[in-house]
Amino acid sequence: MTDTLIFAIPKGRILKEALPLLARAGIEPDADFHDPASRALQFGTNVPGLSLIRVRAFDAATFVAHGAADFGIVGSDVIDEFGYEALYAPVDLKIGGCRLSVAEPKALAEDDDPRSWSHVRVATKYPNITSRHFAARGVQAECVKLNGAMELAPRLGLTNRIVDLVSSGQTLKENGLVEVEVIADVSSRLIVSRPSFKRKAEVMTDWLARFREAVDA
Amino acid sequence: MTDPISRGLLPEGFRDRLAPRAAAADRLVRTLCDRITAHGYDLVQPPLAEFEDSLIGRLSDGGAQDLLRVIDPVSQRTLAIRSDITPQAGRIAATRLAHRPRPLRLSYAGPVLSVRPPQVGAERERMQIGAELIGHDSVAAAGEILTVALEALTAAGCADLSVDLTLPSLVEELAEADWPVDNLDAVRAALDGKDHASLIAAGGAAYAPLIEAAGPAASAIPALRAAGMGAAFDRRLDAAEALTARASGLARVTVDPTERRGFEFQTWLGFSLFAGGIASEIGRGGTYIVRHPGGAEEPAIGFSLYIDGLVQAGLGRRKTRRIFLPHGTDAGVGTALRADGWVTVAALSGSDDAEANACTHIWTGEPAAL
């Protein structure tokens, strides 16, 4: 068996912080990875047999859970949302820190009594986490799935509340929203596909050790 | 208006299997069954459906949720379609074959149905082939079961096999012994995902070396010995070492002490089977308890293989020589050719032709290649 390996790395928020970590673990992407004009989707690296794919964060988890990619990086928010059984998250990379929170308009927060809720309407990219979170206290959450610009939902009357990632809280503030509850602290994890972890055990355990060292470095 | 069902739409997770894959699947089932029964595992054929109660008591919680249930118009009781044949083999061993001497060796092959599609893949109907050894769960029994599974898979054409050994009851027993934790559920959930950060957050830092040790048996077993779990658990590592030695001629062996997903029903040993070129697991097994009607318990070990991944990977296919017999060919010609291993397609009229029948050869007084 050829031990060709595919590493899934998410576009956006995490990418900038992830690259130095990859470098410390010994992975340098080929030059065209950094070329904004490049339309390539898969990139070579300095490590023979190892290539990178750059995809959306949710897709990175999907590629790895299906074994189409062997390992990768995603936020713990994505891992929790999918709850894939075929996915391991053995290393906390301690990057991409933020939190997943419930937010609502300032006026609503001021005279709201969460104890009386039986049902809430929430705009979110995380319907599973959101329903689980509210269900745990006996409240049914009706989730409106959005892929971005969550803050618009309360302003335009789509929903009263949102569940979204919050780092500084600046975007919430600019949209007249306040953070009322933290559901989970989020950080990026090294994820590994279960079949790859078993079938390519030697090389995968070696990479795990390298990433553990890179985090501690 | 076209009705999708009239066009053959099937429910999600079900499919028609056509040539050549249907033949390949059939061949794989026969090869696997032949190899298993050759080790003395008598074939049994439990029914597709049973009383729900009979299946539920013998399935894990997740398995019970997987059952498709219907009300039986005859008995007015709930029937369930099996999602796993293992509990049926256990039922047979505990009832109709309870009087037979142990160890009892049983094998089976048949379709199973899950209500929910798996997270990865979509199949709700799968073909399960397996063997159960009832009455023993010793290292010797485990060695036999592993060998039978690996030999059968090798005969079916699987290459680059690997076995992942797991110790399903380990974490719970450690928590009761020297490694207590406040919230066992949270620790186990973190261990399931090998999620180091959540494990620390759940107060299970002591268990972190068990995640880090998982990997090739040659390095995992020494690392687990060094983790200092205590003498009772060292014996389990001795067993893992013995099984590694037994299986290593047939497969690569890895050890993962905390794997629990899908092993909720297993006792001291579980294992998963993988093969090169097939992305998902192809089979699993382990030790478990068979419960008798009187409440007695009996140790057992077994394995189940699922051939769908093998068929997908193109295993079980065989090139057939398919010869067209033009209209009027003497019947004796076909008989002789079939006896010689040919597949024959006889023309029904003079307008039939070889190409439309996907033949590789035509009879012209002798086989002529097309």
Q: Report pLDDT digits (tens) over A49-62.
A: 999 999 999 999 99
Looking at the structure, tell me whether residues B330 and B304 fall in a common domain. no
Residue B272: its chain A contacts at CB < 8 A?
A: 198
How far apart are alpha carbons B198 and A5 in whole angstroms? 27
Residues B177, B178, B181, B184: is their CA dihedral positive or negative?
negative
Asked if residue B346 lies in contact with residue B325, where contact means CB atoms within 8 angstroms, the answer is yes
Looking at the structure, tell me whether residues B265 and B328 fall in a common domain. no
Buried/exposed B38-72: b ≥16 CB within 10 Å, e otherwise = ebebeebebeebbebeebbebbbeebeebbeeeee
The beta-carbon neighbor of A66 closest among B120, B194, B195 is B120
What string of DSSP letters covers A15-31?
A: HHHHHHHHHHHT--B-G
Looking at the structure, tell me whether residues B306 and B351 fall in a common domain. no
Per residue in B308-365, pLDDT tens?
999 999 999 998 899 999 999 999 999 999 999 999 999 999 999 998 989 999 999 9
- Please choose, from the candidates A165, A171, A79, the residue with its C-alpha nearest in 3D space to the C-alpha of residue A124: A165
Is A174 an 8 Å CB contact of chain B?
no
- Bond from prior residue into A48 cis (ω within 30 degrees of 0): no
Q: Which residue has the tokens 């060796």?
A: B105
Q: How far is B116 from chain A (nearest CA, A)?
A: 14
Residue A187: its chain B contacts at CB < 8 A?
A: 197
Q: Is residue B161 situated within a structural domain?
A: yes
- A175-200: average pLDDT: 94
pLDDT of residue B120: 80
Confidence of residue A1 (pLDDT cuts 50, 70, 90): very low
Looking at the structure, tell me whether residues B131 and B89 fall in a common domain. yes
Distant-in-sequence contacts of B317-320, Cβ < 8 A, 24+ apart = B317/B20, B317/B23, B317/B24, B318/B23, B318/B24, B318/B27, B320/B360
Q: Do B216 and A86 make contact, defined as CB atoms within 8 angstroms? A: no
Looking at the structure, tell me whether residues B95 and B133 fall in a common domain. yes
Is A204 an 8 Å CB contact of chain B?
yes
Q: Is residue B228 situated within a structural domain?
A: no
The beta-carbon neighbor of A1 closest among B193, B197, B276 is B276
Helices assigned H by DSSP within B45-105: 52-56, 61-65, 86-94
Query: What range defines the domain where residue B285 resides?
Result: 11-167+259-312
Q: Is residue B299 situated within a structural domain?
A: yes
Q: Do A1 and B160 make contact, defined as CB atoms within 8 angstroms? A: yes
Q: Is residue B254 situated within a structural domain?
A: no
Q: Is residue B105 situated within a structural domain?
A: yes
Looking at the structure, tell me whether residues B83 and B17 fall in a common domain. yes
Q: How far is B113 from chain A (nearest CA, A)?
A: 20
CATH number for B17? 3.30.930.10
- A73-90: average pLDDT: 94
Q: Which residues of chain B have pLDDT under 50?
A: none
The beta-carbon neighbor of B196 closest among A84, A87, A91 is A91
How far apart are alpha carbons B309 and B118 in whole angstroms? 13
Q: Is residue B253 situated within a structural domain?
A: no
Residue of chain A whose alpha carbon sits nearest to that of B120: A66
How far apart are alpha carbons B50 and B71 in whole angstroms? 11
pLDDT of residue A114: 81
Q: Do B193 and A88 make contact, defined as CB atoms within 8 angstroms? A: yes
pLDDT of residue B294: 87
Instruction: Give chain A's mean pLDDT.
Output: 93
- Please choose, from the candidates B200, B307, B214, B226, the residue with its C-alpha nearest in 3D space to the C-alpha of residue B260: B214
pLDDT of residue A154: 94
pLDDT of residue B226: 92
Q: How far is B208 from chain A (nearest CA, A)?
A: 10
E strands along A2-110, which residues? 5-10, 42-44, 50-55, 71-75, 87-92, 98-105
For residue A75, is pLDDT > 60? yes
- Bond from prior residue into A20 cis (ω within 30 degrees of 0): no
Q: Do A86 and B120 make contact, defined as CB atoms within 8 angstroms? A: yes
Residue B214: its chain A contacts at CB < 8 A?
A: 197, 205
pLDDT of residue B59: 66
pLDDT of residue A2: 52
pLDDT of residue B327: 95
Residue A67: its chain B contacts at CB < 8 A?
A: 120, 279-280
How far apart are alpha carbons B114 and B84 in whole angstroms? 9
Residue of chain A whose alpha carbon sits nearest to that of B261: A85
- Please choose, from the candidates B314, B308, B255, the residue with its C-alpha nearest in 3D space to the C-alpha of residue B280: B308
Looking at the structure, tell me whether residues B94 and B145 fall in a common domain. yes
What tokens appear for B59 in the block?
A: 């399935």
Looking at the structure, tell me whether residues B288 and B329 fall in a common domain. no
Looking at the structure, tell me whether residues B44 and B94 fall in a common domain. yes
Q: Is residue B156 situated within a structural domain?
A: yes
pLDDT of residue A156: 93
Q: Is residue B3 situated within a structural domain?
A: no
pLDDT of residue B229: 86
Q: How far is B105 from chain A (nearest CA, A)?
A: 29
Looking at the structure, tell me whether residues B282 and B363 fall in a common domain. no
Its pTM stands at: 0.91
Looking at the structure, tell me whether residues B268 and B350 fall in a common domain. no
Prediction ipTM score: 0.85
The beta-carbon neighbor of B119 closest among A86, A198, A204 is A86
Domain count, chain B: 2
Q: Which of B283, B312, B341 finishes a domain?
A: B312
Looking at the structure, tell me whether residues B70 and B29 fall in a common domain. yes
Domains and CATH numbers, chain A: 5-96+187-216 (3.40.190.10), 98-185 (3.40.190.10)
For residue A6, is pLDDT > 70? yes
Residue A132: its chain B contacts at CB < 8 A?
A: none
Q: How far is B164 from chain A (nearest CA, A)?
A: 7
